[in-house]
Amino acid sequence: MATHYKWTIKLGILAPILAVICIFLTGAGHGWYEPMMILFPWATLNTIWEDQLSIPLLIAGIFQFPIYGFLIDKTKDAKKREWVLFGILVSHILLAIVILWLRTPTWQ
């Protein structure tokens, strides 16, 4: 059964590793926020309107990569899988760009 979820497992393992790297780069609030905003846009969405991170969005951000993997794994048709990958990639990049562009001065 686990073989049916290879991307979910791979991205589920990758997510905490990337999260630890991003936390290290933020330097306890005195570092570099852009990697976190690029890699975890769902977790940092509220930086557009608030000066602190939201716990529910941080939790959503941790599950972001496994959800991407789950969507890829559940798409059986190769043509549909291309569209799912394209949708994930475009939505992720667009959200990261919006966050980087509209974030409050606290996060710059």
Domain boundaries, the chain: 2-107
Tokens representing 104? 């409050």
| Residue-level pLDDT at 2 | 58
| Residue-level pLDDT at 98 | 95
Identify the helix (H) or strand (E) that includes residue 94: helix 78-102
Could you say which residues of the chain have pLDDT below 70?
Answer: 1-2, 28-29
Residue 30 C-alpha from the chain's centroid? 21
| Residue-level pLDDT at 39 | 94
| Residue-level pLDDT at 11 | 95
- Rounded CA gap, 50 and 86, in Å? 30
DSSP E strands in 32-99: the ranges are: none
| Residue-level pLDDT at 50 | 84
| Residue-level pLDDT at 9 | 94
pTM here is 0.86
- Rounded CA gap, 78 and 108, in Å? 41
| Residue-level pLDDT at 99 | 93
